[in-house]
Structure 1
């Protein structure tokens, strides 16, 4: 409910904004600091990476999405102001380190190709990566020190949510994959006999991939459940052919069901309750900031979104309904032709 109130507060501010143009390409100002049309459109594109459809979004759906994106950009500005007041900032080195970690998940040049295919500028992507890190910094260094958790709260959560700490029966297995059938077979034989399977994995050929899995028996893929049901610990399934090549399972052990005790569950409980308290504290902080901040948004976005939609879909476009949200202007790369802004 409080999130709804916050969004309504932001949308009310958007509806009651200034109409005095000041600068080309500016769609909003937060405490005097501008938010540019290019930022709005870039964030919208980032949020919709991978969206594919032959249907042009309706004015109403685009209006809602752009309103949400603009609200997000307003929050970034407010958080940035708070960090500045605390003397905190995210360094270029921290951004580079985070980018390197993300790139490590993409083979070869897939990272660049993904951005290129989605028409995302790398510098824009880095800007929002920095803002993501600023949000983490705000939560960890500004909000977290103000949050406390008592043992009584943790104990009560444990009692009220006992079912969350029940762990059903699981299987501990190794999944072996390779394009070489004989390599898979040789690997499974070695792993069955090994006292320390991790040491054996280090000696296997580079084209053999071994993954350790602990899976709930009631959540196993059908083909795996059938194979594992017939196995005893330290034995292997038959080799199967998949889209990944040849595949075989080695059953290491069956883990019995159990209920975590309070001390075992405390780390999980602490994370859940701290997250809840942090989110609540953030919403309290944000509502106060929105109430006291000077937030101005151009009302011309709604008109320009309607014009853009008509240009792209002249037959099916419906008359625009004025809403208390912000929509995109033209696609002139950050500047409107008539110079409207705030």
Structure 2
């Protein structure tokens, strides 16, 4: 799920913080939401994740850097507002929930490879956990606050199906078991269990082995996976593939032919698409009202240069500008897999027919 790029200088008056370095209490603080601080370290962490794949590829201009930081700060402010809204309703994310979310993410990584990823990608665990908390807060906000406001009429669903009939033409897809292990020996043992019993749960009894079933379009397969599955019969396992943090093999469960979903089959996807649209509208409505109730302060260093200078000349503590909200928000469709992996950014399905894990 992806939160909108929200331009902070929008549809409301924003009070300016004094230069962060001028007062000890504000050292390292780039914004406050109802007095709750957002730190420069949070901003830098999100910015580093944004450029993780292309680190060192280019040196941004000061203007570009200011713009990127401003957009990221806008996201962080909205997330903090969501967090505070949940807290006011007695729905904030508990430590137990956070621990469970982390457990789900860690379960995708055999043995200690989760920690290896953190080290390799220079990801601070505490900062990652804070990001996970925000992510779970947004999920709860959608599930418990926004989603109950959404109602879908059957006539609306039928009209959507007819208008988007091409979206329900499913291409050939594959059901695949992905089996991963930190070492070849454990992976071989797990594959032998599959050949003897075809039981995915039994495979996980081997130490350091993770097993996940996915459904994916053939055209979405990476080159190594496409090669491994190309001539593979149903029920058979591929050769072992060496990866950066261990080894994996693929078991082809089934090839599903292309077909057009009828209205009954398509309804869950139609409902999901309409819900996503209406939840986004409900979110915008909540946000426009929340701006009037929340007291937000922002460091002048992250405001556009022209506006910051004008404010300094005028001696005013308020800024006004335009807004943009391009989110695709909706019901969480990832279930266990929806927790944010290290270095991964939130995303939402591109269409109703995208493959789901």
Q: TM-score, normalised by structure 1?
A: 0.65
Closer, same or farther: CA 158–294 of 1 in aligned 2, 3 Å = same
Q: In the alignment, does 2:46 pair up with 1:43? A: yes
For 1:59, the equivalent position in structure 2 comes to 62
Indicate the residue corresponding to 1:265 in structure 2: 266
Partner residue in 1 for 2:314:
none
Aligned residue number for residue 334 of structure 1 = none
Pick closer, same or farther for the CA change 1:109–1:172 going to 2, 3 Å. Answer: closer
Which residue is equivalent to 1:106? 109
Q: 1:115: which partner in 2?
A: 118
Describe the superposition over 1:195-244 as per-residue Cα deviations: whole angstroms up to 9, x where unpaired: xx7359959x969999978666777877579747xx8x89x89x979658
Question: Conserved in 2, the CA contact under 8 Å of 1:28 and 1:297?
Answer: yes
Question: Which has more helix, going by share of residues?
Answer: 1
Tell me, what secondary structure is at the counterpart of 2:74? helix
Matches within 5 A, 1:87-102: 87-102=90-105
Q: Distance in 2 between matches of 1:297 and 1:274?
A: 33
Report if the CA contact (8 A) 1:30-1:296 is conserved.
yes
Contact 1:12 1:324 in 2 (8 A): no
Is 1:151 paired with 2:154? Answer: yes
- Is 2:8–2:70's contact at 8 Å kept on the other side of the alignment? no
1:17 and 2:16 matched? yes
- Determine whether 1:127 maps to 2:130: yes
Relative to structure 1, is the Cα distance of residues 51 and 214 closer, same or farther in structure 2, using a 3 angstrom cutoff?
closer
Q: Contact between 2:146 and 2:279, CA under 8 Å: does it hold in 1? A: yes
Residue pair 1:31, 1:295 contacting (<8 A) in 2 also: yes
Structure 1: gaps (5+ residues)? 303-320, 326-342
Q: Aligned pair in 2 of structure 1 residues 88, 64: CA closer, same or farther (>3 Å)?
A: same
The answer to whether the 8 A contact 2:12-2:292 is kept is no
Separation of aligned partners in 1, 2:184 and 2:87: 54
Q: Distance in 2 between matches of 1:101 and 1:270?
A: 27
Q: Does the residue aligned with 2:273 lie in a helix, a strand or coil?
A: helix
Q: Does 1:138 align with 2:121?
A: no
TM-score, with structure 2 as normaliser: 0.63
Higher mean Cα deviation, 22-31 or 142-151?
22-31
Q: Does the 8 Å CA contact 1:173/1:213 hold for their aligned counterparts?
A: yes
SS at match of 1:29: strand
Counterparts of 1:232-247 in structure 2, within 5 Å, are: none
CA contact (8 A) 1:50 1:118 kept: no
Q: State whether residues 16 and 300 of structure 2, in contact with CA within 8 Å, keep that contact through their aligned partners in structure 1.
A: yes
2:166 pairs, out of 159, 163, 167, with 163
Q: Where do 1:240-255 residues align within 5 Å? A: 255=256
Q: Report the Cα offset of residue 30 of structure 1.
A: 1.9
Cα–Cα, structure 1 residues 30 and 246, in superposed 2: closer, same or farther, change >3 Å?
closer
Q: Specify every segment of 5 or more residues in structure 2 that has no aligned partner in the other structure, as ranges.
A: 309-357
Cα drift, residue 254 of structure 1: 6.1
Deviates more, 1:104-113 or 1:82-91: 104-113
**Aligned equivalents of 2:107 and 2:301: distance in 1?**
42
- Aligned 8 A contact 1:165 1:260 in 2: yes
2:343 maps to which residue? none
Q: Find the aligned partners of 1:101 and 1:248 in 2 and give their Cα distance.
A: 21
Q: Distance in 2 between matches of 1:248 and 1:119?
A: 30
1:28 aligns with 2:27: no
**2:305 matches 1:322:** yes
Q: How does 1:150-229 map to 2 (within 5 A)?
A: 150-169=153-172, 198=198, 227=231
Q: How many residues align?
A: 289
Could you say which residue in structure 2 is the equivalent of 1:306? none
> 1:170-196 CA distances to partner (integer Å, 9 max, x unpaired)?
67788999979xx89x97xx97xx9xx
